[in-house]
Every structure is written in structure tokens, then in C-alpha cells.
């Protein structure tokens, strides 16, 4: 089998149901005659995640490799995915997304046409089928929507790539390092983008590389959105404090405080007088980002959080997995259906029942979704996987 040109890295924790649908959308993507692999990094799941990946290996036309990362946190999981990836390119894909059939080919084409080492794409929201709400722009942003027009453009300023739809050349990591462990909460992707910019490595937005972010109804609740906004604000504060230093950050903090009091609170009060609850929720989320930022200035970082960025891709897997038994559990390749037919292997004795997946005669279809007329938002026809029951979300966005 040819070596993969692209490694699609999917990090996950206790989202077995969503993961099953996400992987199904990656089974057979359109490519320009390049080979890709799927690397699933399980960040300490306690649900049926491993069984889901095992089952996906029986359905996918492309290699699926399972890696267990015991160190908690999305940064550790993504860095493990980079280290395990065998491709010249690493494409990040979240465990709660659906890929358009041309997604990976469009990223690859965009990188080739621009000679770029870093490319991202469009992110649509996939809302529950019964959702008729007109979400405010602030809410859409919190939920991960990223639509920056119909033409390619260079990321800059407030328009930055995100790890739900981002492909980077391996050489980019060799030049600037991997994800920064000192970034708390959210913002590790923005930190990496800023390091790429300082190194003179431009990143390009490819509008035709589309993914759909599955958004279950619980993520549309006010409490979830406000908490997510506060955590985003705290993450921004940590990153800005590190970038600007004490004096510069103090001035920014004071300006933010003044704007919060004189602009954002009055705007929230005014929105309450209008018969538009979605607009008020958007203002409330915007205020929560600001309050999180102001509170984040007082946060402290642990010794572990102050570690420098990882600048080497070489990772000792022997050190990470001290015993052969642990290595067998923590890293396994689940061959594609085609490879398994060509090279049949006997079932291992004593295999755990929940990891044995029967080969179905027909490949399970990916979840269906439709596009509303005149709206970019996708609507999910959400069908839970029969393998596992729904589980709580751990990597909130």
C-alpha cells in the first residue's frame, strides 16, 4: 500500500456517537489520486470510542489508525496526532463534524495552487432538523461557524484558521513547533497561526473546502453558550497577556473594561427592549467573552502550563508506552475493508466482544443533512449510531 500523502487527525474524548458519524463522512473522500489515512487520537475516553473506531475500520476504504493518549487535554491529543501522522500533510478534523465529499481534495488543491504550507476551509453549522431559530452572528461564531466569502483569501487579523478545518505541511511544524501547551482553554490554534505568521508562512482560506459542524440541541441552550463565551474570553486573555507583556496587556485590559461598561452593557440593556431574543442572546454572549477576558487577567498558570512550545516532531513511542501490552492497547491500526479482504487475518483469541465488529454487506451511509434555501446553515437529519449510546461532550466548541 502506498504511503499516505495526507494524515487526517481526529481527536476525541467520550463522544462515541458523534465520532461514528464523523468517521463515516471520511470513509471515501474524493481525492486527486493521493492517498490519505485517518488517525484517531483517543484522549482518555471511557465510553465506546474504541469500538466505534474498530467498526469504522471495517467500513472505510482508507486506513484508520487508533492511538490512545493518556495525557488529558486537546493540545496533548493534537500533538500526539502530529507525531503519529505518516503523511506529508496533516489535516485536522473534529469529532463532531461531517466532511463534504470534496473537502480534502479542495484543501490539497488550494495548497498546491498557492504554494502554501497552511490552508483552511469553510465551516457550516449543522443544526437539528427541528431548529427554526435565526441565530445571532455572535452565537454562530461561538459554535464554530467560519464563512469568509466565496473567494480564496489570506488569513489575517481577526480572520484566522481553526483546527476543525485546517491542513498544514509537516515542514511547517518543523519550522515553528507544534501546539503550545501554555495556552489554556481555547486559542491554541490562534497561537500556532500567529507563530506561522511571524515565521513568514502565510495561511490561506479555501472556501470550497467545506465541513459541517454538528450542533446538537443542548449546545444551543443559553447556559452552554454563555459558559463557552466566558471560557473563550479567558483563553484570549491568557494569550494576549503572554504576547503583550504586563504593561501592554494592562492598557488593553483597561480599554476592554471601559468598553464593556460604556458600550456592551448598554447594548445588552437595549436589546432587552426589542422583541428579538436571539439578538439579546448574541449580545449576552459578546458580554460574556469580555467578562471572561477581564477575569482571565487574574488567572494563574500552573508549572505544567508554562512549558514551552514543542519544537521537535520526534516522539519516543517507547517512552510513551513502556510495555508491549500498553503499546498494543494504545496504538492499533484498523485496516480498511479492501486491505482486510486482500490479507485476511484470523481473529485473535480472547478478543474482547465489544471490539469485534461484524462486516456488513453494505457500507453505512453518512448522516444526511440539507441546506435551507437562501441560508448557508445545514440542518442535520441526526441518526445516532447503533453501536453506542449518546455520551457527554468533552471537547466543547
Contacts of 367 (CB under 8 A, 6+ apart): 21, 24, 25, 98, 214, 380, 381, 382, 383
CA dist., res. 164 & res. 141, Å (int): 13
φ, ψ of residue 384 to 5 degrees: the values are -70, 145
* 154 and 272 in a common domain: no
* 123 and 59 in a common domain: yes
Instruction: Concatenate the DSSP letters of all residues of 157-180 into one string.
Output: TTB---TTEEEEEHHHHHHH-S--
Instruction: Give the bridge partners for 203, in sequence order.
Output: 118
For residue 162, what are the domain limits? 6-218+315-319
% of the chain surpassing 90 pLDDT: 61
Distance of CA 32 to the CA centre of its chain: 24
What integer pLDDT is reported at residue 1 of this predicted model?
59
* 286 and 240 in a common domain: yes
* 273 and 147 in a common domain: no
Residue 153: other Cβ atoms inside 10 A: 13
CA dist., res. 166 & res. 173, Å (int): 13
* 287 and 170 in a common domain: no
CA dist., res. 142 & res. 126, Å (int): 14
Higher pLDDT pick, 266 / 362: 266
Q: Nine-digit cell at 224?
A: 452552554
Residue 375 resides in a domain: no
Residue 206 resides in a domain: yes
What integer pLDDT is reported at residue 299 of this predicted model?
57
Domain count, the chain: 2
Confidence bin at 107 (pLDDT 50/70/90): very high
Residue 254 resides in a domain: yes
For range 157-165, the mean pLDDT: 91
* 288 and 176 in a common domain: no
Query: Which whole-number Å values give the CA distances from 396 to 71, 79, 189, 217, 218, in the listed order?
Result: 18, 18, 14, 14, 11
CA dist., res. 122 & res. 234, Å (int): 25
CA dist., res. 118 & res. 110, Å (int): 10
Residue 374 resides in a domain: no
| 378-381/36-42 β-pairing | unpaired
Condensed to tens digits (0 to 9), the pLDDT of residues 210-262 reads 999 999 899 999 999 999 999 989 888 887 888 888 899 999 999 999 999 99
- 38 pLDDT higher than 90: yes
* Direct distance between the N- and C-terminal alpha carbons of the chain, in angstroms, rounded to an integer: 36
Amino acid at each position: 500500500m502506498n504511503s499516505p500523502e495526507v494524515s487526517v487527525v481526529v481527536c476525541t474524548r467520550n463522544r462515541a456517537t458523534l465520532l461514528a458519524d464523523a468517521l463515516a463522512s471520511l470513509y471515501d473522500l474524493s481525492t486527486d489520486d493521493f492517498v490519505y489515512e485517518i488517525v484517531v487520537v483517543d484522549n482518555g475516553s471511557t465510553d465506546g470510542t474504541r469500538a466505534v473506531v474498530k467498526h469504522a475500520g471495517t467500513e472505510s476504504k482508507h486506513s484508520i489508525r487508533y492511538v490512545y493518549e493518556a495525557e488529558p487535554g486537546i493540545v496533548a491529543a493534537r500533538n500526539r496526532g502530529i507525531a503519529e501522522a505518516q503523511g506529508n500533510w496533516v489535516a485536522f478534523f473534529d469529532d463532531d463534524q461531517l466532511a463534504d465529499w470534496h473537502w480534502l481534495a479542495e484543501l490539497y488543491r488550494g495548497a498546491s495552487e498557492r504554494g502554501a504550507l497552511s490552508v483552511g476551509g469553510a465551516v457550516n453549522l449543522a443544526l437539528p432538523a427541528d431548529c427554526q431559530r435565526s441565530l445571532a452572528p455572535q452565537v454562530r461564531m461561538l459554535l464554530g461557524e467560519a464563512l469568509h466569502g466565496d473567494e480564496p483569501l489570506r488569513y489575517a487579523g481577526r480572520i484566522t484558521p481553526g483546527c476543525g478545518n485546517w491542513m498544514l505541511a509537516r515542514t511547517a511544524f518543523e519550522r515553528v513547533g507544534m501546539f503550545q501547551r501554555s495556552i489554556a482553554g481555547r486559542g491554541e490554534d490562534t497561537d500556532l497561526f500567529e507563530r506561522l505568521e511571524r515565521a513568514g508562512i502565510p495561511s490561506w482560506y479555501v472556501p470550497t473546502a467545506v465541513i459541517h459542524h454538528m450542533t446538537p440541541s443542548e449546545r444551543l441552550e443559553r447556559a452552554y453558550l454563555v459558559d463557552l463565551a466566558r471560557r473563550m474570553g479567558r483563553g484570549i486573555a491568557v494569550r494576549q497577556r503572554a504576547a503583550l507583556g504586563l504593561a501592554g496587556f494592562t492598557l488593553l485590559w483597561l480599554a476592554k473594561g471601559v468598553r464593556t461598561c460604556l458600550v456592551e452593557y448598554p447594548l445588552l440593556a437595549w436589546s432587552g427592549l426589542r422583541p428579538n431574543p436571539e439578538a439579546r442572546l448574541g449580545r449576552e454572549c459578546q458580554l460574556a467573552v469580555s467578562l471572561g477576558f477581564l477575569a482571565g487577567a487574574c488567572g494563574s498558570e500552573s508549572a505544567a502550563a508554562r512549558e514551552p512550545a514543542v519544537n521537535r516532531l520526534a516522539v519516543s513511542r517507547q517512552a510513551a508506552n513502556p510495555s508491549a501490552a500498553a503499546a498494543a492497547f494504545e496504538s492499533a491500526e484498523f485496516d480498511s475493508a479492501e486491505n482486510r479482504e486482500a490479507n485476511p487475518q484470523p481473529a485473535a483469541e480472547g478478543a474482547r466482544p465489544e471490539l469485534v465488529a461484524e462486516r456488513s454487506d453494505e457500507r453505512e451511509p453518512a448522516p444526511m443533512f440539507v441546506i435551507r434555501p437562501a441560508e448557508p446553515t445545514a440542518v442535520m437529519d441526526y441518526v445516532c449510531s447503533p453501536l453506542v449510546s449518546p455520551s457527554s461532550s468533552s471537547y466543547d466548541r
